[in-house]
C-alpha cells in the first residue's frame, strides 16, 4: 500500500512546551514591560509592533535559533507557542532583521536602560545582605565578524591571529549568574579603555551608595588592571581583586625579590607568593602580591595580584581563581544562546542582539529560584536549559486565549521532573 503524504495544520502541538509555559507567565504578568517601556522607534508598523518583534527575537534566542534565518523554520510554524506568548504568530525573519537594523544609538540606550530596569525589579541582588561582600566580575570576549561590519577591526581572538572581530566587555554577578551590563567595542581596542565608561553607565542606573560600593569586590584579569582603572575603581569606593596590567613591572619586581621571600602554598606545591617590593600609592590602601606558578610546560610564570581585601594571600588567590566561572558563563552564552553566531552589519543592531541575549541569560538564571531549585536540573546552565529542557514537545490547550492545560511528551526522559518544575513556576507567578 502506498504511503500517503499530505499537509495538515496540527493544532495545540509544540516542540517547546516548557518555553510556552514560561512565555505564558512572562506575558500574563507583564514581566518584560520595563524593557520596552521607554523604547521609541520610528518605523512603519503593520501586523507587529516593534516591542512584539523584539520579544520574538528574545523567544528565538531561548528557542536555540542560531540566526534570524532559523525563525521561519523553527518559530513561525509554532502557532501554539506564539499564542502562549500572546502572539497570533511570530513575525517573519526579514521583518525582525529590519527592526534590529532600524535601531540607532538612542534606541540602544533606551533598550539597555530597560534591561537595567528589569534587573532592578527582579535581580537576586534585591535580597542580598549588604553586610556581606559580593563579587562583580569584569571580563571581555571576542565576537568574530565580517571585514566590512561596522566596528569590525583586526584584533586578538583566542586561538586566531589577525581576525576581524568586535569585543564585548561584560559585568557579571558571581554566584547569581546574572549579567548586569554588556558593551561592544571595536576589535582593535583594549578592554581597559572601556572600564571607566562602563562603570559610569552601570552606576547611573544602579545608584549604589558609597557604603554599598564598599561591599562590592570588582574582580578581573590583567586586561582591566591598569593603574588608571584601579585608581578610578578605588576612588568610587569598590574593593579590588584583580591582576595588574603591567607585565614588565611584574618582571622587574620579581628580580628584586629574594628566593627565600617566596612562600609556598601548603595546599599546592606548584604555587608561591611573595610581597611586592614596592608599595603602590593609589589613594587607598592597596596590597600587591607577586604570584608564581608553573605553566603547562613546567616553566615559572608570574603575575601581580592587586587587592584591598584583608585576607591571607593564598585565600585571595583562591578567591581570584573563582573568576574562571565568569569565563564559563561567557562560553555558555556562546554555546547555549549562540551569542557568537548572531552577527549584524550595523554595530547598533549587534548591540541590540547582545542586550537581548543578556535579557535571555538573566531569565534563564532566574529559572533556578523560580522553578529549578532542589530539582534534578538545578545544575543546568544555559546550553542544557535551551536544548534539553525548554524544548520538550507537548500539547497546549487554551480557553479564551488563556493557557489552561499543558501535556508534556511522556516518553521524554525529563518530562516527569519538568512537570513538577513547571507547576512550581506557575505558583511563583500565582498562575496555578
Provide the β-strand partners of residue 397.
Answer: 405
| 350 within a domain of the structure (yes/no) | yes
At which of 278, 298, 322 does a domain end?
Answer: 322
For residue 155, being part of any structural domain is answered with no
Contacts of 332 (CB under 8 A, 6+ apart): 381, 382, 383
| 101 SS3 class | helix
For residues 290 and 350, membership in a common domain is answered with: no
Same-domain pairing of 276 and 308: yes
> Which residues in 245-401 belong to E strands, given as ranges?
263-265, 268-275, 287-294, 300-307, 394-399
CB–CB of 226/247 below 8 Å? no
Distance CA 348, CA 108 (A): 7
> Where are the alpha helices (H) located in 75-137, listed in sequence order?
79-84, 93-101, 105-122
For residues 288 and 212, the answer to whether their CB atoms sit within 8 Å is no
**Structural domain total, the chain:** 2
Which residue range is the domain that position 252 belongs to?
222-322
Nearest alpha carbon to residue 142 among 366, 334, 369, 299: 334
Q: Are residues 265 and 354 in the same domain?
A: no
Q: What is the pLDDT of residue 185?
A: 86
Per-position DSSP letters for 5-37, written without gaps between them:
-------SEES-HHHHHHHHHHHHTTTTHHHHT
Residue 78 buriedness (CB in 10 A; 0-12 / 13-18 / 19+): buried
Report CA Rg, the chain: 24
Are residues 227 and 317 both part of a single domain?
yes
Q: Is 197 inside a domain boundary? A: no
In a domain, 394, yes or no: yes
Question: Is 306 within the bounds of a domain?
Answer: yes
**Residue 95 and residue 24 share a domain:** yes
Identify the domain boundary among 291, 322, 353.
Answer: 322
Coil, helix or strand at residue 289: strand
Three-point CA angle 335, 336, 341, nearest 5°: 55
Examine the fold and report which residue of 296, 322, 348 is the final residue of a domain before the chain moves on.
322
pLDDT along the chain (432 residues), means of 10: 82 93 96 92 81 95 92 94 95 93 92 93 86 91 86 78 86 92 87 92 88 94 93 96 92 93 86 92 91 88 94 93 87 85 86 94 95 94 93 93 93 96 95 78
My answer on whether 271 and 312 are in the same domain is yes
Q: Do 312 and 403 reside in the same domain of the chain?
A: no
Same domain, 241 and 272: yes
Q: Tell me, what's the pLDDT at 356?
A: 96
Tell me: do 316 and 393 sit in the same domain.
Answer: no
276 φ, ψ to 5°? -65, 145
Q: What is the pTM of this model?
A: 0.92
What secondary structure does DSSP assign to 169-183, as a single string? EEEEETTTTEEEEEE
Dihedral, 61, 73, 84, 414 alpha carbons, nearest 10: -70
Q: Does one domain contain both 381 and 306?
A: no
Same structural domain, 228 and 303: yes
- How much is the pLDDT for 20? 97
Domain assignment present for 239: yes
Do the domain assignments include residue 82? yes
Are residues 316 and 345 both part of a single domain? no
Rounded Cα distance, 282 and 286, in Å: 7
Whether 358 maps to a domain, the answer reads yes
Q: Taking a C-beta distance cutoff of 8 angstroms, is the pair 356, 338 a contact?
A: no
Amino acid at each position: 500500500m502506498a504511503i500517503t503524504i499530505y499537509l495538515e495544520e496540527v493544532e495545540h502541538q509544540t516542540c517547546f512546551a516548557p518555553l510556552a509555559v514560561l512565555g505564558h507567565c512572562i506575558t500574563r504578568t507583564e514581566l518584560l514591560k520595563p524593557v520596552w517601556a521607554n523604547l521609541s522607534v520610528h518605523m512603519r508598523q503593520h501586523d507587529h509592533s516593534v516591542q512584539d518583534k523584539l520579544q520574538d527575537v528574545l523567544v528565538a534566542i531561548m528557542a536555540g535559533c542560531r540566526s534570524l534565518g532559523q525563525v521561519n523554520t523553527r518559530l513561525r510554524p509554532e502557532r501554539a507557542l506564539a499564542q502562549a506568548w500572546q502572539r497570533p504568530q511570530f513575525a517573519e525573519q526579514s521583518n525582525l532583521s529590519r527592526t534590529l537594523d532600524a535601531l540607532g544609538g538612542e534606541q540602544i540606550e533606551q533598550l539597555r536602560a530597560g534591561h537595567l530596569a528589569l534587573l532592578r525589579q527582579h535581580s537576586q541582588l534585591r535580597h542580598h545582605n549588604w553586610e556581606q561582600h559580593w563579587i562583580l566580575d569584569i571580563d571581555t570576549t571576542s565576537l568574530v565578524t565580517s571585514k566590512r561590519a561596522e566596528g569590525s577591526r583586526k584584533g586578538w581572538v583566542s586561538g586566531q591571529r589577525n581576525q576581524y572581530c568586535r569585543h564585548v566587555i561584560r559585568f557579571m554577578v558571581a554566584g547569581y549568574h546574572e549579567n548586569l551590563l554588556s558593551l561592544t567595542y571595536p576589535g582593535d581596542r583594549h578592554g581597559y579603555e572601556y572600564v571607566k565608561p562602563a562603570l559610569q553607565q552601570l552606576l547611573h542606573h544602579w545608584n549604589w551608595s558609597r557604603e554599598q560600593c564598599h561591599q562590592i569586590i570588582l574582580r578581573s584579569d590583567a586586561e582591566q588592571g591598569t593603574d588608571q582603572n584601579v585608581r578610578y575603581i578605588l576612588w568610587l569606593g569598590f574593593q579590588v581583586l584583580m591582576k595588574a596590567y603591567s607585565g614588565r613591572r611584574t618582571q622587574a619586581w620579581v628580580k628584586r625579590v629574594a628566593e627565600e621571600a617566596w612562600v609556598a602554598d601548603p595546599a599546592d606545591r606548584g604555587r608561591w607568593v611573595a610581597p611586592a617590593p614596592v608599595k603602590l600609592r593609589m589613594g587607598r590602601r592597596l596590597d600587591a602580591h607577586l604570584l608564581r606558578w608553573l605553566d603547562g610546560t613546567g616553566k615559572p610564570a608570574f603575575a601581580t595580584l592587586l587587592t584591598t581585601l584583608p585576607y591571607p594571600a593564598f585565600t585571595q588567590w583562591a578567591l581570584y581563581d573563582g573568576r574562571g566561572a565568569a569565563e564559563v558563563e561567557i562560553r555558555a552564552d556562546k554555546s547555549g544562546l549562540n551569542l557568537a553566531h548572531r552577527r549584524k552589519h550595523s554595530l547598533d543592531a549587534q548591540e541590540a542582539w547582545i542586550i537581548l541575549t543578556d535579557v535571555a541569560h538573566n531569565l534563564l538564571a532566574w529559572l533556578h529560584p523560580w522553578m529549578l531549585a532542589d530539582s534534578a536540573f538545578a545544575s543546568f546552565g544555559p546550553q542544557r536549559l535551551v536544548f534539553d529542557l525548554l524544548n520538550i514537545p507537548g500539547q497546549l490547550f487554551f480557553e479564551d486565549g488563556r493557557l489552561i492545560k499543558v501535556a508534556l511528551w511522556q516518553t521524554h526522559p525529563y518530562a516527569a521532573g519538568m512537570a513538577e518544575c513547571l507547576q512550581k513556576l506557575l505558583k511563583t507567578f500565582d498562575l496555578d
